A = this chain, B = another copy of it.
Amino acid sequence: MIRATAALALLATCSVAVADGPRARELGVPFEGTPGALDAITDVAGVTVGQVTLIEDLPGGRKVRTGVTAVLPRGRQSLDTPAYGAWFPLNGNGEMTGSAWLEESGQLEGPVMLTNTYSVGVVRDAVIAWRIRAGAADSSGYWWSLPVVAETWDGDLNDINGFHVRPEHAWQALDQAKGGQVVEGNVGGGTGMSCHEFKCGIGTSSRSTMVGDRKYMLGALVQANYGTRETLRIAGVPVGQDIPVSDSANTAPPHGDSGSIIVVLATDAPLLPTQLKRVAKRASLALGRMGSFAGNGSGDMFIAFSTANAAAVNGGSFVQLESLGNDYLDPLFIAAVQATEEAIVNAMVAARDMHGQDGHFTPALPHDRLVELLKRYGRYAPPP
């Protein structure tokens, strides 16, 4: 069994490797809009991300390729202060625990956790236990009792039947969550994931936008594991048609668009829950740009939250809050589409070739061929 220390060691190694590679826009992929300083969900002030990556070859040929990613809307302050939130399932072939209360209350009470399909339960209960360990729960006793945990399925590369994620891994992800750069690719909950039959995983991006005379940030983080090769489009270029699977070295069995993608959208714009649901829905349009058809087997689920209105969400019977008029939301809708699109491409660009369970191999998207195709289709945007 993997011990936490081993997992941490692997995480460190992995981070360095991944951080060395270029991101999508550095390769010349043209994106619209203006990213934040880090081009990451952590550009939204207060948002922290923690990731635990489990990569280990066990006796008996079992390959551990999985992990946990934690997104805390308000960092440690998330312990005591919820955030307005909402979700939207484009295709509900997946799990997002806590979604019923998120929908009903309009509040995200705690972190968003991402892991593999078979480990949702252990991570969920671990979040409650972590909150209890942190001190007395709220007076009602219910706070943090309906954690949000979402998943995608990594059973091609990971020994998913081995249930390798343990409570400690969730606790580490929570404890280590921090702002700043976010490691992308084969990391955290995304460790064993694939997109469009290329290796994939965690990706992130952000957009800075103006609503009236106010500046707001919107960030996206995806755990991407969806899509068939054939339909893949990047910046409008039919990459999937030009790099067919027959041209790649995939050895995992094909199973159509049965992967799933979780999109986490964060913003500091003071949106109401109804408005955040609208923002979450826009992730669908980014998937459309990528060529997804949201296959039957794909759990395409999106969650959005706002870090504004901390006092209101955490308040008493009578609270005061801020919001934006519906007529002024378009910049945020556009930002949601753009940031999700770039986060997905970032996940594909950052991911690395992976050998895993049952001799399966999933290759990364070849950077050189992507650049070549961008140029051939007149879409290459030279990095600055």
Over the window 330-344 of chain A, the binary record of Cβ atoms lying under 8 Å from chain B Cβ atoms (1 yes, 0 no) is 100110110000000
Q: A326 — which chain B residues lie within 8 A by C-beta?
A: 105-107, 296
Tell yes or no: A284 within 8 A of B by CB.
Answer: yes
State the copy count for this chain.
4
Contact present for B142 and A153 (CB under 8 Å) = yes
Q: A25 — which chain B residues lie within 8 A by C-beta?
A: none
Q: A281 — which chain B residues lie within 8 A by C-beta?
A: 90-91, 294
Contact present for A90 and B284 (CB under 8 Å) = yes
Tell yes or no: A60 within 8 A of B by CB.
Answer: no
Q: Identify which of residues 136-163 in chain A touch chain B, using a CB-to-CB cut-off of 8 Å.
A: 140-142, 145-146, 149, 153, 155, 161, 163
Measured CB to CB, the nearest residue on chain B to A315 is B325
Instruction: Give the CA-CA distance A183 to B43 in the complex, in Å.
Output: 50
Tally chain A residues at the interface, Cβ within 8 Å.
Answer: 103
Tell yes or no: A295 within 8 A of B by CB.
Answer: yes
Measured CB to CB, the nearest residue on chain B to A126 is B121
20 more contacts with CB within 8 A, not counting A120-B124, A211-B317, are A89-B100, A91-B278, A93-B100, A93-B142, A95-B100, A105-B274, A106-B272, A119-B125, A121-B121, A141-B153, A256-B330, A272-B274, A284-B288, A285-B288, A289-B289, A297-B327, A319-B322, A321-B321, A376-B378, A377-B377
